[in-house]
Each structure stands twice: as structure tokens, then as C-alpha cells.
A and B are shown apart, each in its own frame.
Chain A
């Protein structure tokens, strides 16, 4: 294929509950280190959450952090780290040819809740409502903060795609490169959702909020005793460019995006639909021009809800019915569900497999749920393989949205 039509990843910046660089994140995935901790949230007291420890002042002034949002700060950290990692000559690059495309599950709930709490201290007098509320809550906010911080004048926006958003951001970036709208895309996903009680309270009301005496064991996809989701914050931004652009500057290449697809269940507000998962994965494989047998790692979406895990496993068993060298793993078991960042973080955590030949496991599986028994599920300890050529990253979210990305070793 024409190298001008091939999209590659040449930089990665991330913050996850168990790592603030890809190297740290990867090391902790291979060592089985969780990032889930007790977390104080308004009105609910202590809940379990994945909390990030990146330094916001590495790339932002205190005033920027104060004025902006947590999602924006995470996005800035990740975008700056991605650019640094890529070795792109950023100062010299045409900033109007750089685009920022970030997936979000939601945005604005944190800031709105904060303002409502704020005016509650003043007898709900709305004259105490902050003038910062609107710029903080516009839906493009996290991506816009990146452009303000970095002086990027190309397009920026967020892609609202529930928990399929990390992949959706990546897909949007790849598509904009294919359309020649930009020469560099900063694409991925971010989440600040743990800073509003609402996400925890809603999952609790749904019977889908994880609890466990040991926080590190709370997120347990595929385990018989799983009891729901651990909400997390985080972010992951990939620097994408066309292969000819990357080769011209001698960039290190993490992998090539060879396949992707998004579709809709059109069946339920919250319950997944395995048939649509199947169709989404098959369409991504078709775009990649490969067979299921070519996939070495499937990074599963499973969130540790009773029904969601089973539905995804049903889909995996159909798509990968005869794939003896395909392994399956899960990253949420370490870091919880990073919402808009989840898909991007989960892909990033797997990309080093192209070089190190390890497949990180899904942890906290003490008793595998028979309905989640897929062949070659890597459980609790890493798997070594001779070679990894293709990774398929699976994500889905509420309202029935599915996203799949296939990345090839290059």
C-alpha cells in the first residue's frame, strides 16, 4: 500500500492508575501491580477507584490547572508526553497541520457537580456560580486545553463515545490523516469521571459498582465472584502520522493501524449485544485484510459486570473459534475502568508485546466463570510467545457503541 495511506503510531503519552509512562505502565502490567485504591468522594464517602499520580505542573502553570479541568490537565500531560516520546521537532512543525482528537465518555459532570456544591454553600444563590463553568464544560474542553497549552492551531474536538471512546479517538485521528486534513494527529482518550460522585452512585444504583475488602482485587473481569466496575481516571494520547511522514524523519514506529471499525447495537441502553460485537470485530479484521487466526492478542473490554463479560466472551468465541495462537487478556483488572481513556490505555499497554514477546494477563481470576472461559485467556501471570504481529483492541459502551482497532507490528 502507498505509504501515504498507512497510519502509524510514533509516540505514546499516558497516565494510568499504575503508571505515568508507558514503561512504568508496562512493567506494572507484567508484575501484576494494581492501581486501585480507596478514594473519598462527595456524599458517598470512601469508594474504590483508579487514581493517577502524574505531575500536572510538569507541563502546566498552576493558574492553568486552576482554570482548566482535570480531563484537560490529563490530556495536556498525555499529549506533551506523546510529542516528547515521538521525537517530533514540535517547535518547527506547522501547528496548523496538527489535530487533537480525544475520546470522552462524558465531560462536564465533574464541573457541574462542583458548582452545584459551591452554590449550596451560599443558599443556592446562582450569583455564586462560576464564570468558568461554561468554558470548563463545553464538550471540546479537554482537547481545547491541549491546543491552548501547546499552541496547536489545527482542528480539535472530542468524540463522545461512552466507553468505546479511546478507540474512537484513535480512529478519528487515523481518518483525519487519511483525509489529509492534518499531518500529525494527537489521538486517544481521557477521563476525569472519578471526580464526580454521580458515576459511582449511578453504577451503585445499577448494581454494577465493584466492592472488595482488598482494593487491588476489586476489579476482576471473568472471575466468578466479580461484582462490578471500578471507576478510574486516566488518559492516553497517541501521536499518529502517515508512514511516509514518519519514515522521512526517522521516527521509531510502535505499530501500524491496519484495521478499525465502529458500530451500534441498536438494542439496549446498557446491556451489550454480542452479535454486534462479532460484526464489529469481523469488520475491523476485514479492513485489515487478515483472518482471525492472524491476531496474536485480543485486548478485551470486559469491565467485570456479570452480563457484560459473558456477552463479550460469547462474541470472542465466535470470531476466534479456531485460533490456537490467539491469546486474550484484560487491563481493567489492574487499573479499573478508565472510561474514555480505557480503550487507548488498554491498547498502549499491549503494544510493547511487539518487542518483548510477553502478553500481560488478566489478574484477579481466582475462579474462572465457566461462561467466560475462552481458550488462551492469559490468567494471572504473563504469557511468553515467540512473536506478536497483530493486536486487536476491543471496546464498547453504553447505548450500544462498539469500537475495534487492529494494530500491526512494523
Chain B
């Protein structure tokens, strides 16, 4: 997956988990939880969807690396390069 595809994939997951949010103005370099009403259960949903959709495991110690869209791309790119 390209970086753009990863960003789109994460955004699509967030659209399902936070269906009331307007994601059109989401800033890639700002923490997701500073822009959206996301709590810890929502965050676990993101981890679960990555597991279900892309067979990506995110260990708890790596959760901080999913803070923003940009950091998601940086973290997931090596894991999704062959997907």
C-alpha cells in the first residue's frame, strides 16, 4: 500500500468508528484525539479493524505511534508494504 492508500484506509476506519464526525478537515499532522471525539474504546476499535482488515498487529507499546494520520502512515507503511 502507498502512503496515500494507508492514510485513506485509516480514515475509512475512523469514519466507521466515529460516524458522526466530519473528517473532511482532518489534519494529518495533528493528534486524532485533539481533533475528534475518540476515547480509549474507539482507539481499540482502530487497532481491531487494522487486525481484521489488514492482519496488522499493533502491540500496546506501539499505540502512541497511531496518534495522528501521519504517524499512522509512518508506523504502518513497513507493515503494509506488501498488502
User: Most chain-B CB neighbours within 10 Å: which of A63, A67, A127, A128?
Assistant: A63
B52 to A61, Cβ gap below 8 A? Answer: no
Q: Which residues of B contact A58 (CB under 8 A)?
A: none
Partner of B52, one of A66, A128, A131: A128
Q: Which residues of B contact A128 (CB under 8 A)?
A: 48, 51-52
B41 to A61, Cβ gap below 8 A? Answer: no
Q: Is A249 an interface residue (CB 8 A)?
A: no
Q: Which residues of A contact B17 (CB under 8 A)?
A: 63, 66
CB distance from B34 to the nearest CB of A (A): 18
A62 to B20, Cβ gap below 8 A? Answer: yes
Chain B contact residues: helix, strand, loop or mixed: helix
Q: Is B19 an interface residue (CB 8 A)?
A: yes
Partner of A63, one of B19, B44, B48, B52: B19
Q: Which residues of B contact A131 (CB under 8 A)?
A: 41, 44-45, 48
B41 to A62, Cβ gap below 8 A? Answer: no
Q: Is B30 an interface residue (CB 8 A)?
A: no
Number of residues of chain B lying within 8 A (CB) of chain A:
11
Considering only residues 7-36 of chain B, those with a C-beta below 8 Å from chain A are 17-20
Considering only residues 131-163 of chain A, those with a C-beta below 8 Å from chain B are 131-132
A127 to B44, Cβ gap below 8 A? Answer: no
B18 to A63, Cβ gap below 8 A? Answer: yes
| Residues of A in contact with B (beta carbons under 8 Å apart) | 61-63, 66-67, 122, 127-128, 130-132
> Given contacts A61-B20, A62-B20, A63-B18, could you give 15 more A-B pairs where the C-beta distance is less than 8 Å?
A62-B19, A63-B17, A63-B19, A66-B17, A66-B19, A122-B52, A127-B51, A128-B51, A128-B52, A130-B48, A131-B41, A131-B44, A131-B45, A131-B48, A132-B41
Give 4 nearest A-B pairs by CB, closest first.
A62-B19, A61-B20, A131-B44, A62-B20
Chosen A-B contacts, 15 in total, with CB atoms closer than 8 Å, are A61-B20, A62-B19, A62-B20, A63-B17, A63-B19, A63-B20, A63-B37, A67-B41, A127-B51, A128-B48, A128-B51, A128-B52, A130-B48, A131-B48, A132-B41
